[in-house]
Amino acid sequence: MAWFKRKDGGNGSAGADDGGGLNIQPDKARAWFNQARTAADTRNYAYSITCYLNGLKFDPTNIDAHKSLYEIASLYVRAGGKPAAGKEIRSMLGDKRPVDRLAAAELAWITDILNSNLNLRFVSEAADLGLTEVAYWAGEIGVKVLARNKKPAKNAFVQYVDIFEQIGAYEIAVQVGEIALNMDRTDAALQARIRNLSAQATMDKGRYEANVGQEGSFRGSIRDAEAQKQLIEEDTFAAGTEAMARRIQRARTEWEANTLDTAAIQRLGDLLGKSGDEKLESEAIEVFRKGYADTSEYRFRMQAGDIRLLQKRRRIRAMRDRAEQSGDPADAARVATAERELLETEVVEFRDRCEKYPTDLGLRFELGRRLYDLGRYDDAIPVLQEAQNDARHRAKAQHLIGLCFLNHEWFEEATESLRLAVDTYEFKDDDQHLAMRYDLMCALEAHAREDGDLAAAEEAGEHAKTIALKQLAFRDIRQKRDAIRQLIKDLKAKQT
C-alpha cells in the first residue's frame, strides 16, 4: 500500500523556525485534515491516515487531529490493516526534520497500537518538541496498554516516568512510578525519586494556586482526562519563564508592525492563549477577534471562542472546588447554574461553527452532545443523526441518540439506537463500551416492564451478566442484575 505519496509539495515548508520552534501553518493542515475525513467516511482508512500525518506536519500541536488519527488507525487495524513497514516509515521521515521524525514515529505506533515501545518512541518525540498535551495524551494511552501486558517491563514504566517528568506532569509521573515500584520494592533509588516527584507535584500545585488565586486547584480537582490534559498545558506556560516572556514580546512586536499578517496574528494569539494567565488570555481573545474582523478568516473567531470557553470552564472548576469544600447547597446550585450557562454558550458557539462548516460532522457531534446535556432532546436528535455519518463519532452519536429516545420513553427506538452503538464501538469492554451496554440494558428493562416483553427482559439480563463479569463494581450493576432476574421470573410466571 502507498502511504506517503506527496501532493503538490504537501510536506514542504512545515518545520523549525529560526528560534527552534514550530512553524505552524493551520490552513495547510486543515486542507489535509478535510481530505482525511472524506477518506475515512468512505472507509479508506489507509489514505485517511496518510492525510492526517501530512496535515500534522503542518500543525503537530493540533491535539484533536492526533486523536482523530488514532481513532481512524484503530478502525484500520480492526479492519485487518497491517503495521507500517520499515520502508513506509522511512519514507515518512522525508527530510528528517523534527516534524518528520514525529510523523514517522506516530505512524509506526498507531498502526501497531499495542506496541508499548513504539508508543514510547512517539511520546518521547512529542515531549522533545515541546508538545506537552500530545505527549501527555499518548503517554497515558501507552501506560494503560503496558499495564495490560501479561509481563510488563519495569524499565518501560520508568521511561514513562522520565517523559512525564520532562513535560512537568508530576502527579502522573508519581502514579506511574508507583506501578514500577510495586514490581520491585527493593529499588531504593526509585523510591527516593518518587518521593522527590511527589514533593515537586505538591509544590507545583501550591505555586499554581498562588499564581492564579481563586482560579482553581490544579490537577487534583480535575474530573476527566481531557480537562487534566488541558490544565497541564496551562500550567506549563503559567510558570512565566523569561524565555516565554521574550517570545511573547517578539510576537507582539511583529504583530504590531502588521496587524493584517495572518502568521503574526496566529503566533501572538497562540502564545498569549497558552500562557495560563487570564489577562494574557483576554489579550489573545482581542488579537484573534481583531484578526477575524480584519481578515475574515473564521479560524481566528473560533480560536477566540475556544479561549473564552476555556476561561469559563476554569472559573466553574474553581466554583466547584469551593462548593465541595463548603458543602453549602446554595454554592452547589450556583455551580449547576454556571454549568448550564456554559453549555448554552457552547451551543451558540458550535451552531455558528456548523453554519460556517456545514460538512464538518465532528462539529455537529459537538453541538448535538451539548444539546443532549441541556436536555434539549428534540433538537439534539436530528443533529446527532447527521453526526453519526462520521466514522469517528458514529458509535458515540448513536449512543446519545438512544439516550434521547430513552428520555422520551420511546423504548423501541432507544434500544435500536443503543444496540447500534454497542455493536459499532470499536474498543470493546472499556468504560465507554460498558456504559453503552448499561444504557441498552436499562432501555430493554424499561421496554420489558412497560410491554411485558419477556424477550426484552432476557436480553437485558444478558447485558447485565456481561457487565457484571467484566466489572462487578460498575455503577449499580449488582442491584440491576437482581432486579432484572426478578423481572424475568415474574414475566415467565405470567405466561404459565
- Which pLDDT value is given to residue 211? 42
- Which pLDDT value is given to residue 295? 94
Domains, the chain, in order of start with CATH, read 393-496 (1.25.40)
pLDDT of residue 200 exceeding 60, the answer is yes
Question: Mean per-residue pLDDT for 359-383?
Answer: 94
pLDDT of residue 429 exceeding 80, the answer is no
Q: What is the pLDDT of residues 452-483, one digit of tens each?
A: 999 999 999 999 999 999 889 889 999 999 99
Query: What band does 22 get if pLDDT is binned at 50, 70 and 90?
Result: low
pLDDT of residue 410 exceeding 90, the answer is yes
Q: What is the 3-state secondary structure (H, E, C) of the chain?
A: CCCCCCCCCCCCCCCECCCCCECCCHHHHHHHHHHHHHHHHCCCHHHHHHHHHHHHHHCCCCHHHHHHHHHHHHHHHHCCCCCCCHHHHHHHHCCCCHHHHHHHHHHHHHCCCCCHHHHHHHHHHHHHCCCHHHHHHHHHHHHHHHHHCCCCCHHHHHHHHHHHHHCCCHHHHHHHHHHHHHHCCCCHHHHHHHHHHHHHHHHHHHHHHHHHHHHCCHHHHCCCHHHHHHHHHHHHHHCCCHHHHHHHHHHHHHHHHCCCCHHHHHHHHHHHHCCCCHHHHHHHHHHHHHHHHHHCCHHHHHHHHHHHHHHHHHHHHHHHHHHHHHCCHHHHHHHHHHHHHHHHHHHHHHHHHHHHCCCCHHHHHHHHHHHHHCCCHHHHHHHHHHHCCCCCCHHHHHHHHHHHHHHCCCHHHHHHHHHHHHHHCCCCCCHHHHHHHHHHHHHHHHHHHHHCCHHHHHHHHHHHHHHHHHCCCCCCHHHHHHHHHHHHHHHHHHHC
Question: Mean per-residue pLDDT for 62-76?
Answer: 91
Query: What band does 96 get if pLDDT is binned at 50, 70 and 90?
Result: confident
pLDDT of residue 108 exceeding 90, the answer is yes
For the ranges 85-99, 204-218, 252-266, 271-285, the maximum mean pLDDT occurs at 252-266
- Which pLDDT value is given to residue 270? 87
pLDDT of residue 488 exceeding 50, the answer is yes
pLDDT of residue 17 exceeding 80, the answer is no
pTM: 0.56
